[in-house]
Amino acid sequence: MKKDIHPDYHMITVVMTDGSTFQTRSTYGSEGDTLTLDIDPSTHPAWTAGSTQIVDRGGRVSRFNKKFDSFLGE
């Protein structure tokens, strides 16, 4: 690696939306800084797919199911 071109890699504290914390190495901020998250795996829909429901807007889901029902086995 070339010298003096890479960012400083140091320990920071990450605070999740529920208040839990953990330490990790990062290039964010400086040594000992705190990164407070607005979203995290416990609250964001991208990670909570099991608890979300499909919203059928304009019959799109029902049209899809009707079109591909022979593939879906329904």
pLDDT tens per residue, range 14-68:
998 888 999 999 999 999 999 998 888 777 777 666 555 556 666 777 788 888 8
Give the model's pLDDT for residue 14. 94
Q: Are 21 and 13 in contact (CB under 8 A)?
A: yes
This prediction's pTM: 0.54
Which pLDDT belongs to residue 17?
86
**Amino acid 38: pLDDT:** 85
Three-state secondary structure call for residue 9? coil
Position of tokens 């009707």? 66
pLDDT value of residue 73: 62
Nearest to 72 by CA among 46, 61, 53, 55: 61
Do 9 and 29 form a contact (C-beta atoms < 8 A)? Answer: no
